[in-house]
Amino acid sequence: MAHLITNVLVADGDGSPPDAVDVRIEGDTIAEIRPATGGADRPREPGDTVLDGRGRLLMPGFVDAHAHADGRLFDPDVQLALLRQGVTTVIGGQDGVSYAPGDGGYASEYFAAINGPHPSYRGGGIGALLAGYDGVTPVNASMLVPAGTVRRLVCGRSTDAASAAELERMTALVADGLDDGALGLSTGLDYVPGAFATTAELAAIAAPVAGVGGVYVSHMRGGYEANSAAGIAEIAAIARHAGVRVHVSHFHAEPSIVHALLGELVAAGVDASFDAYPYTRGCSILAMPILPAELTVRPLHEVLAVLADPDQRERLRTEWFPAIARYASLGPEWPSMITLAHVAAPDYAWAHGMTIAAASDRAGTDAARFTLDLLLASRLEVNVVMAVPHERGDAELASILTHPAAIGGSDGIFVGAHPHPRARGTFARYLRSLVVDRAALSWADAAALVSTRAADRFGLGRRGRVHTGWIADLALVDPGSVRDTATYEHPLALAEGIDDVFVAGVPVLAAGALTGATPGRGIRRTDRTTEGA
């Protein structure tokens, strides 16, 4: 059976202006691309289907280079949210914490408010984790080896620098993950245990990544924004020592800072890229900026005992909380700048969507006491949207996103009743804001941002272009209606203007609804001389 997509303008990923074409798909592959004729003269076999593109734009399926869908990709609501944005592949294992290697327990506890629990993975490494996506989801998944999870397996809850023997074991685990098909190595240096990893340790375990042509991906140390220079300097040092290509996760800062620091990487001879979502506010677990890393690295029951102890609570309030204002430029008004996105404790469900300042007022207590009560009741499972003092406008965001090293990434978190809108809006927002509204990018440039660069850089095989012989991961975009509808006030609204999507040649979204087909798979690192999977 073949699929014919007729009467479309194709943005092929090579930078050429869109051309009117008809596309024939056979199996999982683009079999033919011809000038548009409406398909009337095409030879057809019984069962062939024809989709009239109605002049829409046919683009290579979008790649979310920074996604937290690791455990949520099996949820139809999450699948629909991604496909309505045109996303056909997500890259997980981000920020140094995910399920594999190991039994998945650490990620399910520490990152419960980010990735959620995995419905089936209980061990077996990166290979088993990737295999768990094969044929059970309409969206593809690739993985990075999470350095924090590796450190947790080898060093436990230690805050000390790794010993030579521990470095050897960690390096071996990274190499195993790469052999299983991981795209590279990720770090989360504001999270635990990554916060305790030294630069020398990170350079050592990144060496196998360089050896296979993978990418070192880093949530860098220090909270970003005005603090970004030190984090970029550390990434440059790791790149030099390991000889590895690097990618900066969710690089949010003033445009002048982003451009200057990327320029420094280039001047230092570092092969660097970055992702950035088109929003100013961030999102993370509440425990990360609110509690000391030396506390949260301890077993959960010990952390909860501290939060329940009156003397320890008072010490946190008086000695630690004044330092929170320094994290990521939150400032002294941090209670009014943190909005509750996910609260696991049912007794606090009323607080979803409220700032800590408003919620603590309603609870009749101060912000510090309320925050400690909330974390205790939720067993730390809380994620939040965090504002910064200056909300960047579209022009400032465009200045960052039009950088030639920019790659599309949502940092989307699908856990929560009132999540950050980036999970459901990022890719449609790229197209609406950068192409349709501002003309900061052409459609050809947009294809590179949302698909081609990620596929090229991370080794996703024959994906990221609309070429004969390439995998038919495709999205049809209506340039006139594509837009994000999710907002900070209404974050669950789905994107509009992308109603038909193919994965591996199979329609997975038709007329804006899931078809029920599950051709997605765990994509292993590869190159285009191989099959492309």
Q: What percent of the chain has pLDDT over 70?
A: 96
Q: How crowded is residue 369: how many other Cβ atoms within 10 Å of its Cβ? A: 15
In 3D space, the residue among 412, 429, 492, 510 whose CA is nearest the CA of residue 72 turns out to be 412
What pLDDT is attached to residue 12? 87
3-state secondary structure of 90: strand
pLDDT tops 50 at residue 450: yes
In 3D space, the residue among 11, 13, 29 whose CA is nearest the CA of residue 21 turns out to be 11
Do 419 and 283 touch, CB atoms closer than 8 A? yes
Query: Residues 248-260: what's their mean pLDDT?
Result: 96
What pLDDT is attached to residue 321? 86
3-state secondary structure of 182: coil
Structure-derived torsion over alpha carbons of residues 409, 17, 475, 143, reported in degrees to the nearest 10? -30
The model's confidence at residue 533, banded by pLDDT at 50, 70 and 90, is very low
The count of C-alpha atoms lying within 13 angstroms of the C-alpha of 66, restricted to the half-sphere facing its C-beta, is 26
Query: Residues 343-362: what's their mean pLDDT?
Result: 98
Q: What is the pLDDT of residues 100-157, one digit of tens each?
A: 999 999 999 999 999 999 999 999 999 999 999 999 999 999 999 999 999 999 999 9
CATH number of 60-280+390-514: 3.20.20.140
> Higher confidence at residue 321 or residue 229?
229
The model's confidence at residue 241, banded by pLDDT at 50, 70 and 90, is very high
> Higher confidence at residue 258 or residue 320?
258
The model's confidence at residue 47, banded by pLDDT at 50, 70 and 90, is confident
1-18 burial, b if ≥16 CB within 10 A, otherwise e? ebbbbbbbbbbbbeeeeb
**Mean of pLDDT over the chain:** 94
Report DSSP state, residue 335.
Answer: H
HEC assignment per residue over 404-468 = CCEECCCCEECCCCCCCCHHHHHHHHHHHHHHHHCCCCCHHHHHHHHHHHHHHHHCCCCCCCCCC
Contacts of 323 (CB under 8 A, 6+ apart): none
Q: What percent of the chain has pLDDT over 90?
A: 88
pLDDT tops 60 at residue 226: yes
What pLDDT is attached to residue 375? 98
Residue with tokens 């990075």: 144
How far apart are the C-alpha atoms of 62 and 475, rounded to whole Å?
8
Is the Cα torsion angle 105, 109, 114, 118 positive or negative in sign? Answer: positive
Do 466 and 23 touch, CB atoms closer than 8 A? yes
pLDDT tops 50 at residue 517: yes
pLDDT tops 70 at residue 357: yes
pLDDT tops 80 at residue 280: yes
pLDDT tops 60 at residue 327: no
What DSSP string describes 385-409? EE--SS---HHHHHHHHTSTTEE--
418-454 burial, b if ≥16 CB within 10 A, otherwise e? bbbbbbbbbbbbbbbbbbbeeebbebbbbbbbbbbbb
The model's confidence at residue 388, banded by pLDDT at 50, 70 and 90, is confident
Tell me the two tokens of residue 478: 């209506």
What pLDDT is attached to residue 391? 85
Q: How many residues does the chain have?
A: 533
The model's confidence at residue 48, banded by pLDDT at 50, 70 and 90, is confident
pLDDT tops 60 at residue 532: no
Query: Residues 43-50: what's their mean pLDDT?
Result: 74
What pLDDT is attached to residue 45? 66
pLDDT tops 70 at residue 527: no
Do 389 and 329 touch, CB atoms closer than 8 A? yes
The model's confidence at residue 170, banded by pLDDT at 50, 70 and 90, is very high
What pLDDT is attached to residue 40? 54
pLDDT tops 60 at residue 328: no
Q: What is the pLDDT of residues 173-213, one digit of tens each?
A: 999 999 999 999 999 999 999 999 999 999 999 999 999 99
Q: What is the pLDDT of residues 393-403, one digit of tens each?
A: 899 999 999 99
Residue with tokens 């050592």: 204
Q: What is the pLDDT of residues 51-90, one digit of tens each?
A: 999 999 999 999 999 999 999 999 999 999 999 999 999 9
Indicate the residue type of 432.
R
Residue range(s) of every CATH 3.20.20.140 domain in the chain: 60-280+390-514
What pLDDT is attached to residue 322? 82
Backbone angles phi, psi at 121, to 5 degrees: -70, 130
Contacts of 166 (CB under 8 A, 6+ apart): 154, 155
Largest CA-CA distance found in the chain, in angstroms, rounded? 81
How far apart are the C-alpha atoms of 170 and 175, rounded to whole Å?
9
The model's confidence at residue 1, banded by pLDDT at 50, 70 and 90, is confident
